[in-house]
Structure 1
Amino acid sequence: MNYTYIVECADGTLYCGWTNDLDKRIADHNAGKGAKYTKPRLPVKLVYYETANTKEEAMSREWHIKRLSRKEKLRLIQGKKGK
């Protein structure tokens, strides 16, 4: 299974990415490994994710999410809560 995700950094910054191992990716972000876009040593929390059947589908969704404004990302996150 592949995942597209958004994490929130401790300073409120939102980052998105894709992975096939969501738990490991979040742990790596928080350990400062492989998290080239997040700020070093600031913990992140998972605020949004969705599944994809293929790597290409997850990468495509990530590409679209990265182009959203912060306001649009927050709207996306809020829309997924409670589902």
Structure 2
Amino acid sequence: MIGYTYMLRCSDGTFYVGSTRDLDTRVATHAQGLGSAYTSCRLPIQLVWWAEFDRIDEAFALEKRMQGWSHAKRFAFTQGGYDAIKGWSARERALRKPHRPSE
């Protein structure tokens, strides 16, 4: 069974990530304000990225991974795809790591 992972840009500039078996119907449902509580109060929405998978569990796994990304990482991804976020996780860890002056 085919599955899709998708990313929507909401009217407030945030990104929503989901997965589905029927992309066109799901995006239309979001656009009508019925897709999720998150997107229903952030209309209009725009489909900014999607990927097709052979199996829905693969789409769901990517959805869960992308949901853990920061807004900045999602934005970078929409601008340049996977190349734009290559090594991003290492950078994020480095930025969160407290700076300790040398003794």
TM-score by length of 1: 0.86
Residue number in structure 1 paired with 2:87? none
Q: Higher mean Cα deviation, 30-39 or 17-26?
A: 30-39
Give the deviation of 1:75 after TM superposition. Answer: 1.4
The question of 1:42 aligning with 2:25 is answered no
Give the deviation of 1:74 after TM superposition. Answer: 1.2
Within 1, Cα distance between the matches of 2:59 and 2:37?
Answer: 19
- Segments of 5+ residues of structure 1 without an aligned counterpart are none
- One-letter amino acid of the structure 2 residue matched with residue 59 of structure 1: F
Displacement over 4 Å in runs of 4+: none
When Rg is computed on C-alpha atoms for both structures, the one with the higher figure is 2
1:16-55 residue pairs with structure 2 within 5 A?
Answer: 16-40=17-41, 42-55=43-56
**Is the CA contact 1:48–1:77 (under 8 Å) kept in the aligned structure 2?**
yes
Q: Which has the higher helix share?
A: 2
Within 1, Cα distance between the matches of 2:72 and 2:35?
Answer: 27
- Segments of 5+ residues of structure 2 without an aligned counterpart are 82-103
- One-letter amino acid of the structure 2 residue matched with residue 14 of structure 1: F
Identity among equivalent positions (%) equals 39
- One-letter amino acid of the structure 2 residue matched with residue 29 of structure 1: H
Residue number in structure 2 paired with 1:2? 3
Give the deviation of 1:32 after TM superposition. Answer: 1.2
SS of 1:25's equivalent? helix
Give the deviation of 1:41 after TM superposition. Answer: 6.1
**Is the CA contact 1:30–1:41 (under 8 Å) kept in the aligned structure 2?**
no
Aligned residues: 80
